């Protein structure tokens, strides 16, 4: 990691939660980026610019969630002692740190502030999860594994709440061949957050 | 004497799926109905499923809508048609990690799940690749992988490394790596329990979408029928074809014994009925002492 990245880590020390902290169980509200019906003029421009600039970082947070989840599955359930691929962990961590630093370096407009804060919270939780993953004896420590799992649940809720398909911030990528969606009217035309809890 | 009964249960459908996703190279050939199904294997005191579908609430509902899914019904309703409850299911074999196969694990509280370790490990790798290679992540929901964590944590998930014989008596898991997905597998039911079974059923997951993949028109190359691989492959169509040959060889090239779960025309080969919810129940075979659920 470069010295700049380390400084960034120190500047933005992640929020630490105990495994039983209520903050990890909070159900976040959807934090949609306002659309043109809600804000006009410069604010609308700002919202679009912000949405486009933050999307790559959302993407990495989402991937980090999937990667750490995968590592945990292998740690819990693989029958191979070397299932936790050190190089894969390092690659995931490097990708995440770059996104986290960029996210902290982003100066969101007022219309994107709540959305940005949500992603920062998710990044902080992931940061802590990567820290636990790095710990020697992680695979043997049920307590550490459980703490990572709990953090990931919180991250998942935060990322869902910050999803916005106008900017291609969705948990599953629909832009390619397997899906059938392009010819369909979007069911979420009035709800840019595709994951907002409606009707359950 | 057969040990297991096998039913293919439709739980929803995509009414107009592009045919090129089903058969490689079938461009500009329109769309066809793609039923979404899972399989129940019941017998010898065990109840197992091949894949578990997805949950049509919250994010699952959004996914379903984006994929054009209609007429979704919960496992309690769907399994009830063959007198099984979700709580009865003790084993679930996940053929691959796409959302419509691995997206409803929480509905099966007593099931132990099996997935290929490679499926998990390679998705992790794919998620490390640059954005320009994001195609490899299609149809994967990191949220589903997170749900897998809960299973693993509670000791209810086994990561299988390659083939696994007798996961249930007479039931084997067979890998088909780098085919439809990185770590796809099929389920091989030897219904007479013999190693050299003469009563074998292959539950193909998405390695075969429909009969056209198994017995496509071979006119173009001067044969009666030929394999045509599935259109969607994160791995390769070559590996899909090789897997198809392995599956077909294991049943003496008797195509009806390879079961494609997205095939609407299963009804032409096996007895079936439509439920009051307009979902099809197809009876592949009946085990000893079991009564028909489609009569």
pLDDT tens column, B174-227: 999 999 999 999 999 999 999 999 999 999 999 999 999 999 989 988 999 999
| pLDDT at residue A14, as a whole number | 41
What's the average model confidence in pLDDT over B37-63? 90
Query: Which residues, including other chains, have CB under 8 Å from residue A67's CB and lie 6 or more apart?
Result: A88, A92, B124, B127, B128
Q: What whole-number distance in Å separates Cα of residue A107 and Cα of residue A118?
A: 14
Q: Which residues of B touch A186 (CB under 8 A)?
A: 66
| Number of CB pairs, chain A paired with chain B, less than 8 A apart | 155
Does residue B142 carry a pLDDT above 50? yes
Instruction: Return the minimum-mean-pLDDT range out of A196-200, B102-106, B177-181.
Output: A196-200
In the stretch 60-119 of chain A, residues with CB closer than 8 A to chain B read 62-67, 69-80, 83, 85, 88, 91-92, 95
At residue B157, the 3 state secondary structure works out as: strand
The H or E element that residue B31 is part of is strand B31-43
> Per the structure block, which two tokens stand in for B195?
């190693």
Q: Does residue A157 or residue A30 have the better pLDDT?
A: A157
Asked if A172 has any chain B CB less than 8 Å from its own CB, the reply is yes
Which span out of A128-137, A179-188, B164-173 was modeled with the highest average pLDDT? B164-173
Between CA B96 and CA B103 the distance in angstroms is 11
Give B-chain residues touching A173 at CB under 8 angstroms.
134, 137-138
- Tell me the mean pLDDT in the region B28-39: 94
**pLDDT score of B136:** 83
Among A117, A123, A133, residue whose Cα is nearest residue A101? A123
User: DSSP secondary-structure letter at B225?
Assistant: E
Contacting residues of B for A59, CB less than 8 Å apart = 131, 134
The better pLDDT of the pair B274, B57 is held by B274
Task: Count CA within 13 A, CB hemisphere, residue B118.
Answer: 17
d(CA B181, CA B229): 13
Check pLDDT > 60 for residue A24.
no
Cβ distance A67 to B127 less than 8 Å, yes or no, reads: yes
CA A117, A121, A122, A126 torsion-angle sign: positive
Whether the CA torsion B248, B250, B256, B260 is positive or negative: it is negative
């Amino acid at each position: 990691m470069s010295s700049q990245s380390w400084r960034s880590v120190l500047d933005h020390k992640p929020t630490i939660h105990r495994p039983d902290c209520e903050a990890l169980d909070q159900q976040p509200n959807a934090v949609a980026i306002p659309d043109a019906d809600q804000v006009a003029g410069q604010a609308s421009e700002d919202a679009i610019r912000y949405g486009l600039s933050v999307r790559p970082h959302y993407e990495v947070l989402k991937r980090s969630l999937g990667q750490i989840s995968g590592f945990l599955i292998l740690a819990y359930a693989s029958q191979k002692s070397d299932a936790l691929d050190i190089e894969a962990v390092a690659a995931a961590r490097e990708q995440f740190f770059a996104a986290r630093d960029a996210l902290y370096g982003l100066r969101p407009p007022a219309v994107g502030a709540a959305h940005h804060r949500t992603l920062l919270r998710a990044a902080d939780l992931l940061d802590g999860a990567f820290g636990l993953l790095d710990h020697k004896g992680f695979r043997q420590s049920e307590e550490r594994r459980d703490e990572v799992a709990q953090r990931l649940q919180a991250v998942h809720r935060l990322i869902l709440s910050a999803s916005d398909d106008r900017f291609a911030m969705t948990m599953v990528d629909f832009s390619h061949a397997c899906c059938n969606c392009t010819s369909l009217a979007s069911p979420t035309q009035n709800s840019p957050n595709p994951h907002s809890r409606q009707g359950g | 004497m057969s040990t297991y009964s096998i039913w293919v249960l439709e739980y929803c459908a995509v009414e107009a799926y592009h045919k090129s996703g089903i058969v490689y190279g079938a461009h500009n050939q329109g769309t066809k109905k793609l039923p979404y199904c899972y399989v129940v294997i019941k017998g010898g005191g065990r109840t197992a499923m091949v894949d578990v579908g997805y949950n049509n609430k919250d994010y699952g509902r959004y996914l379903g809508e984006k994929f054009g899914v209609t007429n979704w019904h919960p496992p309690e309703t769907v399994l009830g048609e063959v007198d099984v409850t979700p709580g009865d299911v003790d084993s679930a074999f996940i053929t691959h990690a796409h959302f419509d196969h691995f997206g409803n694990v929480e509905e099966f509280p007593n099931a132990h799940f099996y997935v290929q370790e490679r499926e998990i490990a390679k998705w992790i790798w794919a998620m490390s690749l640059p954005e320009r290679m994001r195609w490899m992540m299609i149809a994967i929901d990191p949220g589903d992988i997170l749900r897998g964590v809960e299973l693993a944590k509670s000791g209810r998930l086994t990561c299988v490394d390659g083939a696994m014989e007798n996961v249930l008596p007479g039931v084997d898991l067979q890998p088909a790596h780098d085919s439809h997905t990185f770590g796809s597998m099929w389920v091989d039911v030897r219904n007479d329990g013999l190693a050299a079974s003469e009563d074998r059923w292959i539950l193909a997951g998405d390695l075969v979408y429909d009969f056209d993949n198994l017995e496509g028109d071979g006119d173009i190359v001067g044969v009666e029928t030929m394999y045509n691989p599935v259109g969607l492959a994160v791995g390769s169509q070559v590996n899909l074809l090789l897997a198809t040959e392995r599956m077909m060889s294991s049943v003496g090239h008797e195509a009806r014994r390879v079961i494609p779960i997205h095939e609407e025309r299963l009804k032409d080969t096996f007895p079936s009925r439509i439920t009051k919810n307009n979902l099809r129940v197809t009876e592949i075979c009946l085990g000893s002492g079991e009564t028909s659920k489609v009569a």
